[in-house]
Each structure stands twice: as C-alpha cells, then as structure tokens.
Structure 1
Amino acid sequence: MLNYIPSWIISMVLIILISVLFYQIYFRIINAYSDDKNRITIVDKFGSILPYGLPLLEGLQNFGQQILPDYPFSLMSLYKKTLMPFVIFYVTHPALAFIIFFVLYYLFVRAKSPMPNRPFIRFNVLQSILLFLINSLLGATFRALPIEFRVSIYGLMLCNTLFWFVLSTIIYSIVKSIQGKYAKIPVISQAVRIQIDSQ
C-alpha cells in the first residue's frame, strides 16, 4: 500500500505530525513561563536554533556541493558523516523547503500566530526565513551564470565566498541564540526588527 503513495505526501504528513507534536510540547512549556514573555528560556534558545537548519541546507545545496570536494579529505569526510544525508534528503524532496517555510511563517511570523508570542524565537525564525530567501536568490543567480564562468577559477572563488558568507552568518546566529542574545547581521537583522516592530 505504501508503495503507491508518493514520497512527497509521506514527507508532508511527517512534517505536519512533527510540527503538531512540537507545538503541543512548546505550548505546554511556554505556558509555565507566560508571566514574562521577554524572559529567554532554554526552550526559546533551542527553538530558535532549529529554523537555521533550513538556510543551512539551502546553502549547502547551492554552494557546498560544488566546492566541498576540493577541501581537505578530513573536512569532506566529516561533511559526509554529518550533514550530507540531510542535504541529499533535502535535494531529493524539493517541496520540503517550501512546506517548512510556510509552516514556520504560519506558526511564528504572522501577526495572528497560533503560537504564544515569544519575541526571541520570533526574531530568529524570521531571520532564518530571510537567510533562506537570500540563499535561494544567491543560488538561483549563481546557477544562471554561464557554465564556463561557474567552473572557472573566478566562478569557484565566487562560489567559495558565497558559501562562507552563508555558513558564517548561520553559525554566528546559532551561537548568539545559544547565548540567549539577538544576532546583529547588518541589514538582515535590521529588516527583521522593522518587520517585528510593524506588527
């Protein structure tokens, strides 16, 4: 019976079930801290780290696959053991990114969100969505360049620069989330603040 169900439907159902489970757990824990919404809890820190997986996978798909084989073998073997299975799953299920994008937007970003208002998580989710959109745009622009340029030394330099930009902004944001502080990425964080303040 499962052989006849498309894999994207199974993926979507799994994401919805995981989202509902996460929502129930999150809602119960946050209700315990509802007296002070500006207090940053362990749940807020952990919940603000997870959305950065989306722009990370997008950046690895767009730039990492092209340049990581040229890096030292130890780095490539570490990548193969840790992130590569997730990237392969992400690449083989292209609808997954947009489903996660809309689930995050619906649960955390909308003005009438069903989730409790937690400014720290909202900031990080919105920032991760913005980083995802920037990664998608940079990746589409890079793929639109002529193949002769992309495989040349200049194309590889550009790909390397974009890859390290993406990776460094995500790592910086994750570290700040673990510390319980707001990341300050020029332009991106300011745009997130403007969006949050306007709602």
Structure 2
Amino acid sequence: MFNYIPYWVISIIFITLICILFYQIYFSIVNSYSYNKNRITIVDKFGSILPYSLPLLEGLQNFGQQILPDYPFSLMSLYKKTLMPLVFFYVTHPALAFIAFFVLYSLFVRANSPIPNRPFIRFNVLQSILLFLINSLLGVTFRALPIEFRVSIYGLMLCNTLFWFVLSTIIYSIIKAIQGKYSKIPVISQAVRIQIDTQ
C-alpha cells in the first residue's frame, strides 16, 4: 500500500504529526505555569534548541561532507555514528528543510501565531531561521565557484572557515539557550531583535 505514496507526502504527514504533538505538549506544560511570558521555562529552553538542528544539518550538508573526511579518524567515526545518518536523511529529502522552515515561521515567528507569545523561543526560532538562510546562501555561493577552486587548497580553506563559522554560531546559540540567555551574534542577533521589535 505504501509503495504508491510519494516520499514527500509521507514526510509532510510525519512532520505535521510531530508538530501537532509538540504543540500539545508545549501548551500543556506552558499552561501549567503561571502565565508570565518573560519567564524562561525548561520547555522554552528545549523549544529554543530544537530549531538549530535545521541550520546545523544545512551546514553539514554544504561544508561538512567535503572537509570532515580530512579530519582525524576518531572525529570522523563519531560523526558517522551520530550525525551522518541525519545528514543523509536530510540530503535525500530536500523538501523537509523548506517544510520545517515554513512550519517554524508560521508557528513561532508570525505576529498572529496560534502559539502564545514566548519571546525567548521566538528569538531563537527566528535566529535559527536566519542562520539557515545564511547557510543556504553560503552553500549555494560556494557550489557556484569553479570546481578547480573548490578542490584546491584555497577552496578547502574557505570551506573549512565556513564550516567552523556555521558550527561555532550554532553551538554558541545552543549553549546560550540552555543557560536561558539571549545569544549575541554580531549583526544576526541584532537583525532578529529588530524583526521582533517591529512586530
């Protein structure tokens, strides 16, 4: 029966079910707290960490696959056991990124969102979306460069720099979210603040 259903339909159904489940859990826990939108709860921290998986997978797809094989074997084996299956799934289902992007935007960023306004989650979701867009733009730009440059030492240095930029901004944002603090990435966090303040 499932042989005739396209994979993107199954992916949309799967993501929708996960979003509905998260939506229900989020409301049940948030409603159990006294409603103070500036109070940062465990749910706010967890909900702020999850969206960063989108730019992380995008960065690993764009830059990690090219440079990680040159890293020490122990790091590469750790990557193969943990993140590589997720990156492979992400690469083979490109529609998931855009579906997740629009779901995050419609649930957390829009001014008339169905989810109560939680500034901490909204800030981190919007920042993760912005990091995802920057990663996508950097990846497209890098792939547009001539193949001779990309495989040269200078191309690998550029790829390595972009990879560590992506990884360090995401790790920094996740650490700040776990601490319950707002991250301060130059330009990016300021753009997010401006967007939130204008809505």
Q: TM-score interval w.r.t. the shorter chain? A: over 0.9
How far is the alpha carbon of 1:8 from its aligned partner? 1.1
How far is the alpha carbon of 1:44 from its aligned partner? 0.4
Where does structure 1 differ by over 6 angstroms across 4 or more consecutive aligned residues? Answer: none
How far is the alpha carbon of 1:34 from its aligned partner? 4.5
Looking at structure 2, the residues matched to 66 and 89 of structure 1 have their Cα atoms a distance apart, in angstroms, of: 17
Q: How many residues align?
A: 199
Looking at structure 2, the residues matched to 46 and 194 of structure 1 have their Cα atoms a distance apart, in angstroms, of: 24
**What is the aligned partner in structure 1 of residue 27 from structure 2?**
27
How far is the alpha carbon of 1:35 from its aligned partner? 2.3
How far is the alpha carbon of 1:78 from its aligned partner? 0.2
Give me the CA root mean square deviation: 0.6
Question: Within 5 Å, which residues of 2 pair with 1:1-199?
Answer: 1-199=1-199
How far is the alpha carbon of 1:31 from its aligned partner? 1.3
The amino acid of 1:124's aligned partner reads N
What are the Cα deviations for residues 138-197 of structure 1, in whole angstroms up to 9, with x where unaligned? 000000000000000000000000000000000000000000000000000000000000
The amino acid of 1:27's aligned partner reads F
Q: Is the 8 A contact 1:30 1:116 kept in 2?
A: no
The amino acid of 1:62's aligned partner reads N
Looking at structure 1, the residues matched to 120 and 174 of structure 2 have their Cα atoms a distance apart, in angstroms, of: 12
How far is the alpha carbon of 1:33 from its aligned partner? 2.4
What are the Cα deviations for residues 6-56 of structure 1, in whole angstroms up to 9, with x where unaligned? 111101100001100100110111112242110000000001000000000
TM-score w.r.t. the length of structure 1 is 0.99
Looking at structure 2, the residues matched to 6 and 35 of structure 1 have their Cα atoms a distance apart, in angstroms, of: 42
Looking at structure 2, the residues matched to 188 and 34 of structure 1 have their Cα atoms a distance apart, in angstroms, of: 32
The amino acid of 1:2's aligned partner reads F
Looking at structure 1, the residues matched to 131 and 33 of structure 2 have their Cα atoms a distance apart, in angstroms, of: 29
Runs (5+) with no aligned partner, structure 1: none
Of 53-62 and 24-33, the range deviating more from structure 2: 24-33
Looking at structure 2, the residues matched to 35 and 119 of structure 1 have their Cα atoms a distance apart, in angstroms, of: 13
Looking at structure 2, the residues matched to 43 and 19 of structure 1 have their Cα atoms a distance apart, in angstroms, of: 15
Secondary structure at 2:89's aligned position in 1?
helix
Secondary structure at 1:124's aligned position in 2?
helix
Runs (5+) with no aligned partner, structure 2: none
